[in-house]
Amino acid sequence: MRPIALVTGASSGIGKACALALLQEGWQVVMVGRRADALAAVVAQAGDHAPQAYAIPADVSKEPEVLAVFAEIRDRFGRLDLVFNNAGISLPYTLPGDVTGEAWRRMVDTNLNGAFYTLSQAFKLMQEQSPQGGRIINNGSISAHVPRPGSIAYTATKHAISGLTRAASLDGRPYNIAVGQIDIGNVASDMTLKMAQGVHQADLSIRPEPRMDMSAVVETFLTMARLPLSANILFTTVMATNMPYVGRG
């Protein structure tokens, strides 16, 4: 029987690339994203592996929609072996005094609450299923460790993801649930186009930053996903070699 994976934010970028890679490795993949048309395009792109792809349009910031996703996973598969907790959003450069309450709540609802709803339901299913256990990989960020200028809301949510990872990893030990985090810096995607043109630096200048190919992220993610449950990568960082991270400030 093929193992079952769930990837959130699977309609584009990192989520899409990792979902397609899992399909190629023989997984059945539940792909979640807000846009049904974009998910359908990813399934079509899977080619011969499309029969193993299951698209479920849902907004992870809304708890009832996450509950519905997991109800469908239970009904269709009865278990879940891997979760890539990837869905997230960002804001343009904004100073703290200019971040509205609405923008803050939108960021927290997607990046933190959505990640928790997904992790919580996955943990419960993995705890109850037989054989027990599974793996949850949270998508953190370089910003889970070091902030960019003008990114207080994004940075706060990504710091929180690190706490989510540590706490769930500890709580997962008795149930054979391995929880880890991948922190990614400057992968070439639509979300980072502005980095090639120039972004704010800690010294208030605006300069372009190097980006890395998506394949580097996919290979790092697959290294985590392929591990037996007796081993776990708690945190790993994959980044463009020359991007400003060490010494960023």
Catalytic, 54? Answer no
Helix (H) or strand (E) segment spanning residue 167 = helix 152-172
Strand ranges (E), 34-148:
53-57, 82-85, 134-139
Which candidate in 117, 154, 175, 245 is catalytic? Answer: 154
Rounded Cα gap, residues 235 and 224, in angstroms: 10
| CB distance 11 to 33 below 8 Å | yes
Residue 21 is encoded by which pair of tokens? 């890679």
Q: How many CB atoms lie within 10 A of CB 94?
A: 16
Helices (H) and strands (E) counted in the chain, each on its own, are 8, 9
Q: Where does residue 201 rank: exposed (0-12), middle (13-18), buried (19+ CB within 10 A)?
A: middle
| CB distance 29 to 107 below 8 Å | no
Q: What is the 3-state secondary structure (H, E, C) of 1-33?
A: CCCEEEEECCCCHHHHHHHHHHHHCCCEEEEEE
Active site residues: 154
